[in-house]
């Protein structure tokens, strides 16, 4: 298993354009620096940079953090290392044939091999997504989402796009115990109060909900989830999620 | 060779809503029941507690409570010209696995059929002339609303259903559904609360001359002791309902409503982690002798039984019949045979309503059956003359699923990612409601279930193969009902935008990818003619009189309602005839 430091990857990401692109990136980098002793569980440095760049086109920074600032790359890393990445939710018996879109997933890949293979083929030339400027990145992601002019062998571009976009949204909005939604970034953005849910007295009132979010492992009296750092110890990946 | 166990009176395949109801009723009637369930044991008290259960990634996205697709799935194609391919990932529907079946992660929207729904062919033929049904396999159920009513009522008291009666013993009641069939008793519990968008929907629909009412709900509104003496508690509107188990004992489910009151019965035995492979037949093929299954240790076992009950969920009941050679498979070329015939689904469309910042919908406060509904465009509650279709659907403002990974409403023309998307999600999330059109689905000769010629499941059995697309009738129906929903949406106050989605839009094919409903129906339908039904009007197989069939596979075509109310009414109807007639004198209950 590759053992790249998160910090090294995100430093490079900052150096190669993200910091210039988004004013808050250096802040984010400091946040990631907390984790610089943690190895990636599945990704290698290039994959992480690709995913961070793409995720930040999909969910860029504004008043609320970008996807990578909210821990989405960490989330994806853990997901791909765990049962989900290994295809725990997929029927993978052959034969494999191209299907109609209505027939759904028909590639002979797990999510982990799909993303690994897809990124390797996208990045096989000289250019790296991370090195492109903001409008070029956006253009790249648009073309990928439309499946245009990419020949990725047995990885359909739209399947790859859909899988990454799905993981990015999951990482931005799932409970922080999975490593994303850092400091409840996604939940604060939309106003979702989280896992401690008792609304019998409020459901018929036309009023905003008064309290900040609390996750499954919320630290009482704080604005944080306890498990963010635990979830990021990588080796926990298999026990974080037993399903697929 | 399979180990043969001592014979039991009744073997029941599946421990969901219908299987546990069968076990309870038959055990009480003195029958030794063995229930065989392929999934794990679990319980609301020990497995569904908050906050751990309130994990959208684990349950709603990774679908922890649901069927294990790598082991068991089906193959799918839109039409016979295509090659069916395995549904490799769950999407359009989410069958259950484990104690309680899909009944633990359902919404609890608990409906009754309209009287005319159960006599669909004769009703439409009489009102509009038979030709309105040309090209469709629409049929009567062979059992009437009046016959089912006591059983529908009993299931309301098993669940503690919350609602406002619209028709009590023939008298129309204020605030209820004026179109419903007569109820012999009021709902056991008062209706759910109404969130602000639901109040607005109610007021607007009433102003437009429609008849809004609270959706009937098996999310219980008060402390309630059910018909079996089990205790339920009031709903907290936690919003982690469908796709989740309820740790508050507030959502009626088969575990707390039935299993808890039968688990210690001397006539009840439950075998978990055991996969039934097939029903075995006697030498003359006229009866079943029991079932062969793989037990929790991976051993093949034969369980002999006098009576076999199929309670494995609509799709898997049909699969078991096909792999066991029960009944005659449907042949779409000749139109002959019945097993797999009349597969239908649910036709879903929705209007998406975006409010200004004065309306706080707070979509995370919700419950599986929190809805305000009109039934004015369901069934034959409206005049179908010259509309070019039959059937209809209910229109309901629902507040059930506002969890942020799955629920990111954005107004029409918003890009699907990027800065503008992010801004739109942020502005819309707390100020939005969906109005669903929950439409019926007619049976047509081209839509059916059979066995896949290529793909096999983990047990080495051919996959069930589904051939389905939305019939033209239902596309027209859906467009029509959606136009009514959109009109209501546009008439509501404080609305800044309205979007629509129609799964059965002209030019689009049914897809197994986006979730629609787990309301797969037909394939082993009920009726009075063995040429067009698999079971007689008592749920007994025409060809094998000691096999009884339960679940939505019995529906000749699908209603505009969710299936569990109707299918549980049928279940208690069948069980009544088993207990009070068949078991004393086993034989075909109707002449073929
Ligand atoms: C997300 C969701 C929401 C829903 N909401 C509603 C709603 O609001 N209103 C409504 O009316 N309905 C709803 N439904 C549908 C409802 O859950 C089903 O109608 C109901 O559970 C059917 O009961 P059943 O007994 O036929 O099958 P199930 O409850 O599914 O039970 C079947 C059991 O059989 C087992 N089994 C299958 N094959 C075998 C085998 N070969 N050997 C051993 N065991 C086997 C399965 O593991 C399962 O536990 C919903 C379903 C889902 C998934
Ligand atoms: S919404 Fe109500 S019924 Fe549904 S899970 Fe929450 S408490 Fe239970």
| Residue B592 pLDDT grade (very low, low, confident, very high; cuts 50, 70, 90) | confident
**Mutation site for A-interface testing, chosen from B91, B419, B422, B465 by largest number of A Cβ within 10 Å:** B422
Q: How far is B25 from chain A (nearest CA, A)?
A: 35
Task: Give the number of residues written for chain B.
Answer: 592
Residue-wise pLDDT for B62-104, tens only, equals 999 999 999 999 999 999 999 999 999 999 999 999 999 999 9
Mean pLDDT of B225-233: 98
Q: Are the C-beta atoms of residues B303 and B8 closer than 8 Å to each other?
A: yes
Low-confidence ranges of chain A (pLDDT < 50): 1-5, 7-8, 10-36, 229-244
Ranges of each domain in chain A: 6-243
Does B501 lie at the interface with A, CB-CB under 8 angstroms? no
Ligand 1 touching residue B112 (CB < 6 A):
no
Residues of chain A found within 8 Å of residue B56, distances taken between Cβ atoms: 173-175
Here the tokens at position A103 are 């027939």
Q: Is the pLDDT of residue B128 over 80?
A: yes
CA dist list (Å): B335 to B48, B328, B340, B342: 46, 12, 11, 11
Q: Is A7 helix (H, G, I), strand (E, B) or coil?
A: helix
* ipTM reported for the complex, 2 dp: 0.96
Residues of chain B found within 8 Å of residue A106, distances taken between Cβ atoms: 85, 88
Catalytic residue set of B: 519
Closest CA to B14 of B293, B211, B335: B293
Pocket test for ligand 2, best of B44, B109, B219, B399 (most atoms within 8 A of CB): B219
Residue-wise pLDDT for B493-515, tens only, equals 999 999 999 999 999 999 999 99
Residues of chain B found within 8 Å of residue A174, distances taken between Cβ atoms: 55-57, 61, 405
Q: Is the pLDDT of residue B341 over 80?
A: yes
Residue-wise pLDDT for B263-302, tens only, equals 999 999 999 999 999 999 999 999 999 999 999 999 999 9
CA dist list (Å): B62 to A108, A141, B51, B283: 20, 26, 17, 45
Phi and psi at B443, nearest 5°, equal: -90, 135
Percent of chain B exceeding pLDDT 70 equals 100
Domains and CATH numbers, chain B: 3-582 (3.50.50.60)
Phi and psi at B555, nearest 5°, equal: -70, 120
Residue-wise pLDDT for B445-462, tens only, equals 999 999 999 999 999 999
pLDDT of residue A231: 41
Q: CA-CA distance, B355 to B374, in Å (whole number)?
A: 21
Q: Which atom of ligand 2 is nearest to the CA of B238?
A: 6
Those residues with Cβ within 8 angstroms of residue B309's Cβ, 6 or more apart along the chain or in another chain = B10, B11, B12, B13, B19, B22, B26, B547, B548, B549, B550
Cross-strand bridge partners of residue B270: B35
Pocket test for ligand 1, best of B18, B65, B106, B322 (most atoms within 8 A of CB): B106
Closest CA to A218 of B390, B50, B331, B533: B50
Task: Please state, rounded to an integer, the average pLDDT across all residues of chain B.
Answer: 98
Helix, strand, coil: what percent of chain A each, to 5? Answer: 50, 0, 50
Closest CA to B13 of B339, B285, B279, B295: B279
Q: CA-CA distance, A25 to A60, in Å (whole number)?
A: 11
Q: CA-CA distance, A81 to A86, in Å (whole number)?
A: 7
| Residue B1 pLDDT grade (very low, low, confident, very high; cuts 50, 70, 90) | confident
Which ligand has its closest atom nearest to the C-alpha of B524?
Answer: 1
Ligand 1 touching residue B92 (CB < 6 A):
no
Q: Note the pTM of the prediction, 2 decimals.
A: 0.94
**Mutation site for B-interface testing, chosen from A106, A188, A190 by largest number of B Cβ within 10 Å:** A190
């Amino acid at each position: 298993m590759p053992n790249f430091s998160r910090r090294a990857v995100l430093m490079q990401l900052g150096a190669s354009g993200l910091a210039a692109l988004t004013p808050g990136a250096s802040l984010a980098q400091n946040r990631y620096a907390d984790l610089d002793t943690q190895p990636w569980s599945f990704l290698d440095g290039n994959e992480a940079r690709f995913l961070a760049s793409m995720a930040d086109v999909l969910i860029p920074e504004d008043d609320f953090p970008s996807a990578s600032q909210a821990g989405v790359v960490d989330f994806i890393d853990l997901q791909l290392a765990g049962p989900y990445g290994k295809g725990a939710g997929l029927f993978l018996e052959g034969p494999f044939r191209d299907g109609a879109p209505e027939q759904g997933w028909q590639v002979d890949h797990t999510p982990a091999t799909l993303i690994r293979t897809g990124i390797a083929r996208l990045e096989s030339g000289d250019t790296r997504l991370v090195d492109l400027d903001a409008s070029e990145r956006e253009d790249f992601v648009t073309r990928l989402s439309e499946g245009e002019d990419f020949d990725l062998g047995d990885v359909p571009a739209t399947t790859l796009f859909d899988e990454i976009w799905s993981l990015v949204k999951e990482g931005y909005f799932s409970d922080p115990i999975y490593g994303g939604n850092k400091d409840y970034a996604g939940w604060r953005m939309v106003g979702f109060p989280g896992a401690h849910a008792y609304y019998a007295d409020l459901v018929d009132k036309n009023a905003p909900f008064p309290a900040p979010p609390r996750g499954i492992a919320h630290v009482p009296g704080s604005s944080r989830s306890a498990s963010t750092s635990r979830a990021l110890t990588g080796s926990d990946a298999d026990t974080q999620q037993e399903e697929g | 060779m399979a180990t043969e166990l001592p014979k039991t009176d009744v073997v029941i395949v599946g421990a969901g809503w219908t299987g546990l109801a069968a076990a309870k009723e038959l055990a009480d009637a003195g029958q030794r029941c063995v229930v065989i369930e392929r999934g794990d044991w679990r319980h609301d008290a020990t497995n569904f507690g908050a906050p751990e259960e309130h994990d959208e990634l684990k349950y709603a996205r990774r679908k922890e409570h649901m069927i294990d697709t790598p082991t068991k799935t089906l193959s799918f194609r839109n039409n016979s010209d295509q090659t069916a391919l395995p549904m490799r990932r769950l999407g359009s529907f989410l069958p259950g696995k484990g104690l309680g079946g899909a009944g633990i992660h359902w919404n609890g929207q608990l409906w009754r059929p309209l009287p005319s729904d159960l006599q669909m062919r004769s009703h439409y033929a009489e009102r509009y002339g038979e030709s309105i049904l040309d090209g469709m396999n629409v049929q009567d159920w062979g059992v009437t609303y009046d016959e089912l009513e006591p059983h529908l009522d009993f299931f309301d008291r098993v669940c503690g259903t919350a609602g406002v009666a619209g028709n009590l013993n023939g008298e129309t009641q204020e605030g209820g559904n004026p179109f419903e069939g007569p109820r012999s008793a009021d709902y056991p519990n008062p209706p759910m609360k109404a969130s602000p968008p639901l109040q607005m929907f109610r007021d607007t629909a009433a102003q437009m001359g429609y008849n809004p009412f609270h959706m009937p709900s098996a999310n219980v509104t008060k402390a309630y002791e059910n018909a079996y003496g089990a205790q339920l508690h009031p709903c907290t509107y936690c919003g982690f309902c469908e796709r989740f188990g309820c740790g508050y004992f507030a959502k009626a489910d088969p575990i707390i409503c039935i299993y808890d009151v039968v688990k210690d019965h001397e006539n009840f035995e439950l075998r978990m982690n055991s996969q039934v492979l097939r029903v075995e037949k006697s030498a003359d093929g006229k009866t079943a002798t029991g079932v062969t299954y793989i037990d929790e240790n991976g051993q093949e076992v034969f369980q002999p039984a006098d009576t076999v009950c199929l309670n494995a969920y609509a799709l898997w009941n049909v699969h078991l019949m096909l792999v066991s050679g029960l009944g005659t498979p449907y042949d779409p070329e000749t139109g002959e045979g019945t097993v797999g015939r009349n597969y239908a689904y649910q036709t879903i469309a929705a209007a998406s309503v975006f409010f200004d910042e004065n309306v706080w919908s707070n979509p995370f406060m919700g419950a599986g059956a929190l809805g305000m509904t009109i039934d004015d465009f369901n069934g034959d509650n409206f005049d179908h003359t010259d509309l070019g279709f039959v059937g209809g659907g209910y229109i309901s403002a629902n507040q059930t699923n506002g969890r942020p990974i799955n629920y990111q409403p954005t107004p029409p023309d918003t890009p699907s990612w990027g800065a503008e998307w992010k801004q739109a999600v942020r502005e819309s999330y707390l100020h939005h409601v969906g109005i669903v059109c929950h439409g019926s689905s007619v049976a047509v000769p081209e839509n059916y279930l059979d066995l896949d010629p290529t793909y096999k499941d983990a047990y080495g059995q051919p996959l069930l193969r589904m051939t389905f697309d939305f019939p033209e009738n239902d596309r027209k129906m859906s467009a029509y009902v959606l136009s009514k929903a959109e009109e209501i949406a546009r008439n509501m106050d404080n609305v800044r935008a309205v979007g629509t989605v129609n799964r059965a839009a002209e030019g689009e094919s049914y897809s197994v990818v986006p979730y629609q409903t787990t309301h797969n129906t037909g394939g082993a339908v009920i009726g009075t003619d063995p040429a067009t039904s698999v079971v007689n009007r008592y749920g007994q197989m025409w060809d094998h009189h000691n096999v009884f069939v339960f679940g939505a596979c019995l529906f000749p075509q699908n209603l505009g309602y969710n299936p569990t109310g109707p299918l549980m009414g049928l279940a208690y109807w069948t069980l009544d005839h088993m207990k009070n007639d068949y078991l004393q004198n086993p034989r075909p209950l109707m002449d073929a």
